[in-house]
Amino acid sequence: MSVTMCRRFSASIVKKQVVAFTGLFFCLFLVGHLVGNLLILVSPEAFNKYAHALVSNPAIYAIEAVMTILFLTHVVLALKLTRENRKARGESYHLKRNTGRGATFMSDTMPYTGILIFVFLVLHILKLKYGTYYEVTYDGLVIRDLFKTMVEYFRNPLNVAFYIAAMLVVGIHVSHGLWSAFQTFGFNHPRYNGFLRKFSIIFAMVVAAGFMVLPIFCYLQGAN
């Protein structure tokens, strides 16, 4: 193997590790975000106070900046790796072959599900975080009534359907992404490969299903 090829191989490994690391970070973020959002099932007050605690944190802007950088890094490097892999195989865009590496529908569609998730996030932020602003008072403190914003938004069944469809895409992407991250960091052995693959699928299903509960709950609240 030439020096140039060795350098390219090393650079590719580093990119894969960065993509894997950022992917694992966002898997943990999804869990934390889901747990917080499920407070909406407890009461409007619990959810609104949770949302207020997040936005009133002085470090929120720094945290959001770091997360944006990590997210864009994940997207850009993942797309570069996809392009490099296709170029290295010398295949046309639509040509596929059995490489013996366990290609699946989830792995083949990773670039597309990733792009769809990006589009969803942009719309999600615009429609909810920067959506209609209402206020509510708890113990003399005036804060945003994000609960009302969400109920109003998900009163439209089309918004509910769109959100649920997006969570299905997230589930597909996370399922393979988590499994791939384990492989990238060397967790590759016949003894526990089966467990890690099942864990990745179950994790993705639980997270996706958990988020699907939110629009359905809000829709039912709006229907009352």
For the whole model, what pTM was predicted? 0.83
pLDDT at residue 131 greater than cutoff 60: yes
Q: In sequence order, what are the residues at sequence separation of 6 or more whose Cβ sits closer than 8 angstroms to the Cβ of residue 200?
A: 174, 175, 176, 178, 179, 182
3-state secondary structure of 101: coil
Q: Which two tokens stand for residue 109?
A: 């569609």
pLDDT at residue 120 greater than cutoff 90: yes
Are 211 and 159 a contacting pair, CB within 8 Å? no
Q: How many angstroms separate the CA atoms of 130 and 188, rounded? A: 43
What backbone torsions phi and psi does residue 22 show, to the nearest 5 degrees?
A: -65, -35
Q: What is the pLDDT of residues 147-174, one digit of tens each?
A: 999 999 999 999 999 999 999 999 999 9
* CATH classification for the domain delimited by 3-91+102-223, as one of 1.20.58.410, 1.20.1300.10, 1.10.287.130, 1.10.3720.10: 1.20.1300.10
Structural domain boundaries of the chain?
Answer: 3-91+102-223
Are 167 and 212 a contacting pair, CB within 8 Å? yes
5 Cα distance to chain centroid: 33
Q: Higher-confidence residue: 92 or 62? A: 62
Q: What is the pLDDT of residues 11-32, one digit of tens each?
A: 778 888 899 999 999 999 999 9
Are 30 and 174 a contacting pair, CB within 8 Å? yes
**C-alpha angle 196-199-205 in degrees, rounded to nearest 5:** 145
